[in-house]
A and B are shown apart, each in its own frame.
Chain A
Amino acid sequence: MPALSPTMTEGNLSKWLIKKGDTVKAGDLIAEIETDKATMEVEAVDEGVVLDLLFKEGEANIPVNKAIAIIGDPNEKVEVKKEAPVEKVIEEKKIEKNIETKFETKKDNIIDTPSPNIEEDTNLSSEEITMRQALRDTMAEEMRKDNKVFILGEEVAEYQGAYKVTQGLLQEFGKERVLDTPISEHGFTGLAVGAAFKGLRPILEFMTFNFSMQAIDQIINSAAKTLYMSGGQINCPIVFRGPNGAAAQVAAQHSQDFSSWYSQVPGLKVIAPSTPYNAKGLLRSAISDPNPVIFLENEILYGLKGPVNNDINFSIPIGKANIEKEGKDLTIVTYSIMLQKSKEAALRLKEEYNLDIEIIDLQTLRPLDTETILNSVKKTNRLITVEESWPFGSIGSEIANIVQRDAFDYLDSPVIKVNSADVPMPYALSLEKLYLPQVDDIINAAKKVSYIK
């Protein structure tokens, strides 16, 4: 009795289409079987003579895998096993549920070197450049090194980039390697993913990450999963980059933060730079990485100036947080634009409450540098997370989970998350300010975990 649907456990023999003594060939119809869903025809897969029909027409509730007929060579003696033991349909495998390995983020792909810190970098440029220029320079440097690297997106070529991040690239590398696409995210994202499967190294610019939702099936179902689904054969070396989160008064559809969305997906790496310095080091690692990388920039930070390391091989490893400021009283874990607000808050907390704040800039969101976070919490015993994401299931939510699990005994107060408001982004300037995390929100959270009234 064949299983004719994933859920069928027994079937009824509606009709025999063969009789004893018939010769059947592979592909011939032999019976009609009534399943839990419908009546279906069954074909023979072997050749031979029908030696016996083991059930009569109309017999019901025959278990799946029970022999219903014997087809074979009449000259060979066949043992008729009508009551043959039913083979177990699904061979269950005992999987040892090892909590440590099942729920831990695997770290075997992380380079085990610490993040370079700007304070200790002896190779800093004397001039300060903008984040926009740092990103542009890094792309150009990598395109000079490897002609498999190319860039595509809306307005990246002739217009020089909607936010001027690709300025001058068309002039240097030509239209074969700097491609303006139509407003067609689903299509050109799939195209870029196909190109990466075939060995190119695309940098795909989303004019903003809000538009990546048009293409999210290709990012998750195709780019992130194919290495796994192909048993390790086909990797996807692609960088999806562009501004993420709120700009200024562009309202609900153009102000979303996608950091926790993409960080939820195994197969993706997610990076969120906060300064020109780390933007350079992290983008280089992203372009060199053999996996799909989501590179979340911030429009407001494009004009932020700072020194950089101009070595064309300078990189910051993916998966490493940076301790932006050391402190002993309280840890703030943050990333992207909220680093600036966290630093401002730390200054005021020192002045007004004499709190010595440690600030961790995550830099990479997936894989998350849990070690740096845990070590800091073990030292300060207090933690707040600061990010622009909506609160439900945010990066801070995951950090709170990890910290309560692995550093429970070190905590002197509950972890507090500072997020955007749990509503769509409003347009009005006054409401937009209320929506986003502000320095005062961070200060209030810090006071709360420090039990300061």
Chain B
Amino acid sequence: MKKLQKADYIKMYSFMLKIRRFEERAAQLYGMGKIGGFCHLYIGQEAVVVGILMTIDKNDSVVTTYRDHGHMIARGLDPKRIMAELTGREDGYSAGKGGSMHMFSKENNFYGGHGIVGAQVPIGTGIAFTHKYNGEKNICRTYIGDGAMNNGQVFEAFNLAALWKLPVLYIIENNKYGMGTSVDRAAAGLDLYKRGEAFGIPGEKVDGMNVFAVIEAADKAGKYVREGNGPYILEVQTYRYRGHSMSDPAKYRTKEELDNYKQTDPIEIVKAEILKKKIATNDEIEKINKDTLEEIKKAAEFATNSPFPKDSELYTDVYL
């Protein structure tokens, strides 16, 4: 496994915290009517994307679902512009035309942000196809929600990826619920990581509340894919603290279940490790907390002060 440096611990902690503070602020702006439509928060799942981030090459591609704010932050994108997309302003990553679910950054190889459950899976497979076609050593990381694992096109993509040995790493973020339906009420056979078995795709289950476990698995899987062996599936067990989207009160689960997961909060795990290993002091951690809060506060200010798109923008970007 990749040897973690002191700076890596700080990086992980900072990114996870930044995602959490960002999402809390997004919830507040939603509550104030500054963000509209659907808004899916990533709180609780931070260790998944940050763990994967620690093993990524900047020329690797990423494609994900509509629960994408945290993915963009982990990709190193500017929280100001992400928040400005959430508020539908011209400084947003999609110039205010995509919104929370449809954000992209081509220059950072971030290919969305897709609103249709499962649609990103063949797309990610096609991006991986391009890496191979061009003779590049890069891979495409394709994130999949547990809900999409019952969607037909996912298996069509698995078949093609295995058939053509494409460099794609499929990461199932199993947060236990597809909207309000728990995995056991939707999936026949709960081991989602085994769903590539028939195609000869290896799979593995990972503790997604623990970033160190995610890094270890992602490192191994990433190497396998990069070496030209074809696709690999990681099923990362995680949990979203919030409802499916902002308007979901999450009545389909108990408070005890939620509290239970909060006991293994992914950010607290990293913080404890940092303190135990004496990588930073409590004061230094507090400074990161304060700086992060400040950065996100500024992002919210930026996003609420950025102008709405010009009326003429209604008609641009339909065709190139």
Which A residues form the contact surface with B (CB < 8 A)? 1-7, 26-27, 35, 37-40, 42-43, 45-47, 64-65, 87-91, 93, 95-96, 101, 106, 109, 150, 176, 179, 181-182, 184, 186-200, 217-218, 221-222, 226-235, 266-267, 269, 290-291
How large, as a class, is the contact surface on chain B?
35 or more
Closest to B24 in A: A45
User: Which A residue sits closest to B156, measured CB to CB?
Assistant: A187
CB distance from B310 to the nearest CB of A (A): 10
Q: Which of B149-184 contact A (CB under 8 A)?
A: 152-153, 155-157, 159-160, 163-164
The one of B116, B249, B251, B316 that contacts A232, using a Cβ cutoff of 8 Å: B316
Asked if B24 and A93 sit within 8 Å, CB to CB, the answer is no
| Given contact pairs A198-B61, A235-B320, A45 touches B28 in the complex (Cβ within 8 A) | yes
Binding site for A on B (CB under 8 A): 20-21, 24-25, 27-28, 30-33, 36-37, 61, 63, 92-98, 102-106, 111-116, 119, 121-131, 133, 152-153, 155-157, 159-160, 163-164, 243, 246-247, 249, 251, 293, 297, 308, 311, 315-320
Q: Contacts A6-B247, A187-B157: A231 and B129 contacting too (C-beta < 8 A)? A: no
Contact B104 A269 (CB under 8 A): no
Tell me, in angstroms, the Cα distance from A218 to B284 when the chains sit together: 48
Query: In the complex, which residue of chain B has the Cβ closest to the Cβ of A190?
Result: B122
Contacts of B308 in A (CB 8 A): 91, 93
Option from B102, B123, B318 in Cβ contact (under 8 Å) with A193 = B123
Q: Nearest chain B CB to A28's CB is how many angstroms away?
A: 10
**Cross-chain contact A187 with B249 (CB below 8 angstroms):** no
Is B159 a contact of A184 with CB atoms below 8 Å? Answer: yes
**With A46-B293, A191-B129, A193-B123 already in contact, 8 other A-B pairs whose C-beta atoms are closer than 8 Å:** A26-B21, A26-B24, A95-B311, A190-B122, A194-B123, A194-B127, A194-B128, A230-B103
- Cβ–Cβ < 8 Å partners of A5 in chain B: 246-247
B315 touches A106 (CB 8 A): yes
A3's partner among B30, B113, B130 (CB-CB below 8 A) is B30
Contacts of A95 in B (CB 8 A): 311
Query: B61's closest neighbor in chain A, by CB?
Result: A198
Given contacts A45-B24, A191-B126, A96 and B121 within 8 Å (CB-CB): no
Given the complex, which residues of A lie within 8 Å of B311, measured CB to CB?
A: 93, 95-96
Residue in A closest to B104 when the chains form the complex, CB atoms: A230
- Shortest B227–chain A CB gap in Å is 19
CB-defined contacts of A290 to chain B, threshold 8 Å: 320
Most chain A C-beta atoms within 10 Å of own C-beta, residue among B93, B164, B318? B318
The distance in angstroms between the C-alpha atoms of A407 and B268, with both chains bound, is: 71
Contacts of A179 in B (CB 8 A): 164
Taking CB atoms, residues of chain A closer than 8 Å to B153 are 186-187, 190, 218
| A65 CB, nearest partner CB in chain B, Å | 6
Beyond A186-B153, A191-B122, A198-B130, is A291–B33 a contact (Cβ under 8 Å)?
no
Q: Which residues of B contact A233 (CB under 8 A)?
A: 94, 104-106
Contacts of A46 in B (CB 8 A): 293, 297
| 7 closest A-B pairs by CB | A194-B126, A190-B122, A2-B31, A187-B156, A231-B95, A38-B249, A89-B33
Is there contact, CB below 8 Å, between A87 and B32? yes
- Cα distance A135–B30 when bound, in Å? 52
Q: Give 10 pairs: A residue, B residue, CB < 8 Å, sorted on A.
A: A45-B21, A90-B36, A182-B159, A190-B126, A191-B123, A195-B129, A197-B127, A200-B130, A230-B317, A267-B318
Min C-beta distance of B268 to chain A, whole Å: 11
Question: With A43-B27, A187-B153, A191-B126 in contact, do A4 and B246 touch (Cβ < 8 Å)?
Answer: yes
Tell me the complex Cα distance, A217–B28, Å: 33
List A contacts of B36 (CB < 8 A): 6, 90
Contacts of B20 in A (CB 8 A): 27
**A43, B27: Cα distance in complex, Å:** 9
Nearest A residue to B126, CB-CB? A194
List of A residues within 8 angstroms of B116 by Cβ: 217, 221-222
Q: For B33, give the chain A residue with the smallest CB separation.
A: A89
Which residues of B have CB within 8 Å of A47?
293
Chain A residue with minimal CB distance to B292?
Answer: A26
Centre residue among A46, A90, A182, A195 by max chain B CB count within 10 A: A195
A218 to B93: give the CA distance in the assembly, Å: 22
The chain A residue with its CB closest to the CB of B130 is A198
Whose C-beta in chain A lies nearest to the C-beta of B293? A26
Report the separation of the CA atoms of residues A254 and B164 in the bound assembly, to the nearest whole angstrom. 29
Q: Is B33 touching A226 in the complex (CB atoms < 8 A)?
A: no
By beta carbon, the residue of chain B nearest A35 is B249
Is the beta-carbon distance between A227 and B30 smaller than 8 angstroms? no
**B31 to A, closest residue via Cβ:** A2
Known contacts A6-B247, A176-B133, A217-B119; decide if A231 and B124 are in contact (CB<8 Å): no
Partner of A43, one of B24, B115, B128, B155: B24
Chain B residue with Cβ nearest A90: B33
Query: Which residues of chain A are within 8 angstroms of B249 by Cβ–Cβ distance?
Result: 35, 37-40
Whether the pair A198, B318 counts as a contact (CB closer than 8 A) is no
B262 CB → nearest A CB, Å: 10
CA distance A229 to B32 in the complex (A): 24
Task: Tell me the bound Cα distance from A93 to B119 in angstroms.
Answer: 33
Q: Across the two chains, which residue of chain B brings its CB closest to A231?
A: B95
CA distance A190 to B125 in the complex (A): 8
Instruction: For B27, list chain A residues within 8 Å (CB).
Output: 2, 43, 45
Pairwise interchain contact B320-A228, C-beta atoms closer than 8 A: no
Contacts of A197 in B (CB 8 A): 111, 123, 126-127
Assembly CA distance A87 to B29 (angstroms): 13
| Interchain CB contact under 8 A, A194 and B130 | yes
**A93 CA to B88 CA in the complex, in Å?**
12
A101: B residues at CB distance < 8 A: 315
Residues of B within 8 A of A189 (CB): 122
Q: How far is the CA of A266 from the CA of B319 in the complex (A)?
A: 8
Whether B123 lies near A222 (C-beta < 8 A) is yes
A186–B148 Cα distance when bound, in Å, is 14
CB-CB under 8 A from B105, the residues of chain A are: 233
Q: Decide: A186 near B122, CB < 8 A? Known: A5-B247, A40-B249, A266-B318.
A: yes
In the bound complex, do residue A188 and residue B93 qualify as a contact, i.e. CB atoms below 8 Å apart? no
A221 CA to B163 CA in the complex, in Å? Answer: 26
